[in-house]
């Protein structure tokens, strides 16, 4: 893990303390896999799509995750850990 990744993880660690386990799992999957769609997150975590949406919402509210539109499919959003 690089120094930037380590410091980013440390910053997010405090934000994740009060979040539900599903949000922690989603954050960990994004940490290991980088940028993913909601459906890719659901596949990797084995969580229901509704739970993934809730977890992403909580993570965005706490500034842990950012999102942007996919260039290949504007209907989809891509999620990644915030800097």
Q: What is the pLDDT of residue 83?
A: 84
This prediction has a pTM of 0.83
Structure token digits, residue 69: 């539109």
Q: What is the pLDDT of residue 5?
A: 53
Domains and CATH numbers, the chain: 3-81 (1.10.10.10)
Q: What is the pLDDT of residues 35-52, one digit of tens each?
A: 999 999 999 999 999 999
Rounded Cα gap, residues 32 and 63, in angstroms:
18
pLDDT confidence tier of residue 67, bands split at 50, 70 and 90 = very high
User: Residue 15 above 80 pLDDT?
Assistant: no
Cβ 76 vs Cβ 69: under 8 Å: yes
């Amino acid at each position: 893990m690089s120094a930037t990744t380590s410091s980013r993880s440390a910053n997010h660690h405090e934000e994740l303390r009060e979040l539900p386990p599903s949000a922690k799992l989603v954050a960990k999957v994004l940490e290991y896999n980088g940028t993913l769609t909601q459906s890719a997150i659901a596949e990797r975590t084995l969580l229901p799509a509704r739970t993934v949406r809730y977890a992403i919402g909580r993570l965005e509210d706490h500034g842990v995750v950012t999102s942007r539109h996919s260039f290949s499919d504007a209907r989809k959003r891509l999620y990644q850990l915030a800097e």
